[in-house]
Amino acid sequence: MQQANVRVDGKRLWASLMELAQIGATPKGGVCRLALSELDGEARRLFVRWCDEAGCTVAVDAIGNIFARRVGRQPDVPPVLFGSHLDSQPTGGKFDGAYGVMAALEVVRTLNDLDLITEAPLEIVAWTNEEGSRFQPVMMGSAVYVGAHDLAATLAARDRDGISVGEALARIGFAGNAGLFARPARAYFEPHIEQGPVLEETGNIIGVVTGALGLRWFDVEAIGQDSHAGATPLRLRRDALLAAAEVAVELDRIAQAHQPNGRATVGAINAWPNSRNVIAGRVVFTVDLRHADEPALDAIEGAFRAACAAIGAARRVTFNITEVSAYPVTHFNASAVAAVRAGAQALGLPHMDIVSGAGHDAVNMAGHAPAAMIFVPCAGGISHNELESAEPAHLEAGCNVLLQAVLATANA
Amino acid sequence: MQQANVRVDGKRLWASLMELAQIGATPKGGVCRLALSELDGEARRLFVRWCDEAGCTVAVDAIGNIFARRVGRQPDVPPVLFGSHLDSQPTGGKFDGAYGVMAALEVVRTLNDLDLITEAPLEIVAWTNEEGSRFQPVMMGSAVYVGAHDLAATLAARDRDGISVGEALARIGFAGNAGLFARPARAYFEPHIEQGPVLEETGNIIGVVTGALGLRWFDVEAIGQDSHAGATPLRLRRDALLAAAEVAVELDRIAQAHQPNGRATVGAINAWPNSRNVIAGRVVFTVDLRHADEPALDAIEGAFRAACAAIGAARRVTFNITEVSAYPVTHFNASAVAAVRAGAQALGLPHMDIVSGAGHDAVNMAGHAPAAMIFVPCAGGISHNELESAEPAHLEAGCNVLLQAVLATANA
């Protein structure tokens, strides 16, 4: 049998995705399955049962990441790892994360159907708490796995009800073995819906993900002077909302100068006193800056800070800028990316190179093993939303690309 | 005795203001005396007692406006009316409204000290619910008095607890006689703190108020598409917050083109989902447009609507504009304004003509009788705030101008 002839079972993949989506299903057709909740535990148990049934050996590490190992002909070489996460946003969809894990399972089931044993072992992984909705930080499981975050500190993080990660892991029975951390892997592949509109808009089915945008998050406070909207002439105003609006417009100009990969977003804004006839004396807003190149990201941040300084001076408004977090630009491993691209080419699927705008566990893994991702379209680019939707044929195509990339890597 | 020689007692004015400010005093030095509350009732009773002690005849109309009449030599001619309001904002100051009523009382007390009887009778007025904080609409008492609002509908307006204006009036014992409405007046004068920074900034003590800005209020909804801040390239965004920010900046440009009396303010803004890594799909913001000339206000509104249309088309964001309320431009009566100006000149007080940016009961009265206002500075232009502050000497000066204007008008 030639590698190019093997195909996954798209109907089985879809059926598993739909069965999994029942756990935490919302009335609007989405999923609410917060990390380490009872529902997350239920989804984990279903996944573990399916892995058992597929002949895998399941292990759980000390942050709750689940590894389902399928033997290879060479039992002692590092495995090819692939998967994603099972947790969701509070009003999440059926595919974000779940697709990567179910696609990984489908690859193993297909190899079982074909009695095909790879040279290197394979491991499906379901990372703990990618979303960061209940416990911070995001991408928790992969970060602890690769040593980017400290285990003890992470286990002590608490949700709004005061429950710690460690307590929640114990409650659902997924506190495992720290000795599993940071094992070598031949490669890591993560299939995922794009969560953006580019594949759909360009008519591509497969996104060959070459890396991820670097990210810098800021909180910005604008301090002016609240005063009467009628009684205060323009020249005597210190309008924090107007100054914030001017920064938002200027940020768009800055990002437009760094296309196609520059992004600048003011997503949240709150004004005080937030009254229709009072000039706002205080406004707090968020700034999200991204780019595929670190020097360009530096330039964007510099222009943003300069804009605040200039607008603040002109409007007599003080800007206080606080960096909230930052992720460097990620460049995925060239060989792993090539394996994904070759898979799409071999299958004759319309594909394009794409840079992930969102963070993923693959970003953490990229520093630890040759990593790459496979994107498939989602309707309208909508994600983190109960309306998240994807075509069965596209999900099947992405799974077939994963199968090709895994076989090529595991048998190399 | 020449009119130019009479002076009010500034210390007595200040003492009355401070005593009144004890009713509803807040820990931060302000006043919370919502319209028709128990505290408003207490303030009204104190005011009525002081009017009784000053020899006035007190009457209350059916919306609770209080009139304290001092006889004139010609008992049957229309009185000269002067005053303001006793209610406050929830976190209001000691001077907004209260100053006008206490200044009016001080004028009567001064005339009593001097045994000076004017030709026309005088009436101090304390209007009901100028602030509109508890019951809408604002400037309620004067609007019903002049027939701009229907009495029955106004009495039926309810606060957040379901208590109607009529019930609240009855509870505090200030439901009076509808026959008092819309009586002719020779003139109406209202002293008030400026609630803006212009007098302070220009070094003037008296603002000769020639009119009030026309006002148009809008709610604006911007509908875009919420999407991932990382995964959505700029060219595919429909960013409602960015479009709203662009409108805010454009509104400032529009108002700058209509100086010195044009005003445009975005005071309140709310975004959904208001999350740092999600492009806002929906933003609601307020627009407050003002000008001293109706055609200019038309031009500002037209430019605002055109800006929304252009920005909406460019950003693929839909703007829904709802007019919330509108007040036409007010031009105060030339003779009444001249009486105020002459008073300031006679007293040698630094003064300037000024247009009120805020609404006042005088705006309602301007359609009914020759009306004018006297502004005095407040520190930093701050009002509707517990930190509201005014100089005793300035309050005394404004009260002396009121005395001059009242005497000149009542004896004309």
Among candidates A103, A271, A256, which has minimal Cα distance to A191?
A103
Which of B195, B201, B231 faces A228 most closely, judged by CB atoms?
A: B195
Inter-chain residue contact A228 with B256, CB threshold 8 Å? no
pLDDT value of position A43:
98
Structural domain of A259: 214-327
Q: Chain A: nearest CA to B26, how far in angstroms?
A: 19
- Is a pLDDT exceeding 70 seen at residue B2? no
pLDDT value of position A91:
86
Among candidates B198, B326, B340, which has minimal Cα distance to B259?
B198
Tell me, what CATH number does B34's domain have?
Answer: 3.40.630.10
The two tokens of residue A373 are 């991702």
Chain-centre distance for alpha carbon A288: 15
Mean pLDDT of chain B: 96
Is the Cβ of B255 closer than 8 Å to some Cβ of chain A? yes
Residues B301 and B336 placed together within one structural domain of the fold = no
Residues A78 and A179 placed together within one structural domain of the fold = yes
* Nearest chain A residue to B202, by CA: A236
Counting the structural domains of chain A, the total is 2
Tell me, what CATH number does B307's domain have?
Answer: 3.30.70.360
Residues A194 and A236 placed together within one structural domain of the fold = no
Which of B195, B276, B288 faces A267 most closely, judged by CB atoms?
A: B276
The pair phi, psi for residue B208, each rounded to 5°, is -90, 105
- Is a pLDDT exceeding 80 seen at residue B359? yes
Q: Chain B: nearest CA to A206, how far in angstroms?
A: 15
Inter-chain residue contact A234 with B255, CB threshold 8 Å? yes
Q: Chain B: nearest CA to A112, how far in angstroms?
A: 35
The two tokens of residue A223 are 């301090």
Residues A100 and A192 placed together within one structural domain of the fold = yes
pLDDT value of position B1:
47
Higher per-residue pLDDT: B403 or B383: B403
Q: Chain B: nearest CA to A116, how far in angstroms?
A: 37
Give the list of residues 6+ apart from residue A400 with CB closer than 8 angstroms, or none. Answer: A7, A8, A343, A347, A349
Spell out which residues of chain A touch residue B235, defining contact as CB-CB under 8 Å.
259
Measured CA angle at B145 (ends B143, B149), to 5 deg: 40
Residue B275 CB burial class (10 angstroms; 0-12, 13-18, ≥19): middle
Domain final position from A284, A307, A327:
A327
Inter-chain residue contact A234 with B215, CB threshold 8 Å? no
Is residue A392 within 8 A of residue A10, CB to CB? The reply is: yes
Q: Calculate mean pLDDT across residues B115-128.
A: 98
Residues A311 and A341 placed together within one structural domain of the fold = no
| pLDDT tens digits, one per residue of B311-341 | 999 999 999 999 998 999 999 999 999 999 9
pLDDT value of position A384:
84
Alpha helices (H) in A203-316, listed in sequence order: 240-256, 294-315
pLDDT value of position A1:
47
Residues B80 and B196 placed together within one structural domain of the fold = yes
The two tokens of residue B176 are 């009076």
The CA-based dihedral angle spanning residues A105, A108, A109, A115, taken in that order and rounded to the nearest 10 degrees: 180
| pLDDT tens digits, one per residue of B149-181 | 999 999 999 999 999 999 999 999 999 999 999
Counting runs of H as helices and runs of E as strands, what totals does chain B give? 12, 16
Residues A237 and A224 placed together within one structural domain of the fold = yes
Residues B119 and B192 placed together within one structural domain of the fold = yes
pLDDT tens for the 412 residues of chain A, in order: 467 789 999 999 999 999 999 999 999 999 999 999 999 999 999 999 999 999 999 999 999 999 999 999 999 999 999 999 999 999 899 999 999 999 999 999 999 999 999 999 999 999 999 999 899 999 999 999 999 999 999 999 999 999 999 999 999 999 999 999 999 999 999 999 999 999 999 999 999 999 999 999 999 999 999 889 999 999 999 999 999 999 999 999 999 999 999 999 999 999 999 989 889 999 999 999 999 999 999 999 999 999 999 999 999 999 999 999 899 999 999 999 999 999 999 999 999 999 999 999 999 999 999 999 999 999 998 888 889 999 999 999 999 999 999 999 999 9
pLDDT value of position B184:
98
Domain final position from B297, B327, B357:
B327
B219 DSSP β-pair partners: B286, B322
Among candidates B209, B208, B194, which has minimal Cα distance to B343?
B208
Domain final position from B327, B342, B357:
B327
DSSP string, A83-145: EEE----TTB-SSTTHHHHHHHHHHHHHHHHTT---SS-EEEEEES-SS-SSSSSSSHHHHHH
Residues A373 and A306 placed together within one structural domain of the fold = no
How far apart (Å, rounded) are the C-alpha atoms in residues A285 and A105? 42
Is the Cβ of A280 closer than 8 Å to some Cβ of chain B? yes
Amino acid at A213: L
Among candidates B411, B371, B379, B412, which has minimal Cα distance to B395?
B379
Residues A289 and A371 placed together within one structural domain of the fold = no
| pLDDT tens digits, one per residue of B5-64 | 899 999 999 999 999 999 999 999 999 999 999 999 999 999 999 999 999 999 999 999
Is the Cβ of B160 closer than 8 Å to some Cβ of chain A? no
Q: What percent of chain B has pLDDT over 90?
A: 93
How far apart (Å, rounded) are the C-alpha atoms in residues B360 and B371? 11
Residues B224 and B364 placed together within one structural domain of the fold = no
B:357-396 residues touching chain A, CB 8 A cutoff: 357-359, 380-385
Residues B137 and B177 placed together within one structural domain of the fold = yes
Is the Cβ of B181 closer than 8 Å to some Cβ of chain A? no
B:301-340 residues touching chain A, CB 8 A cutoff: 324
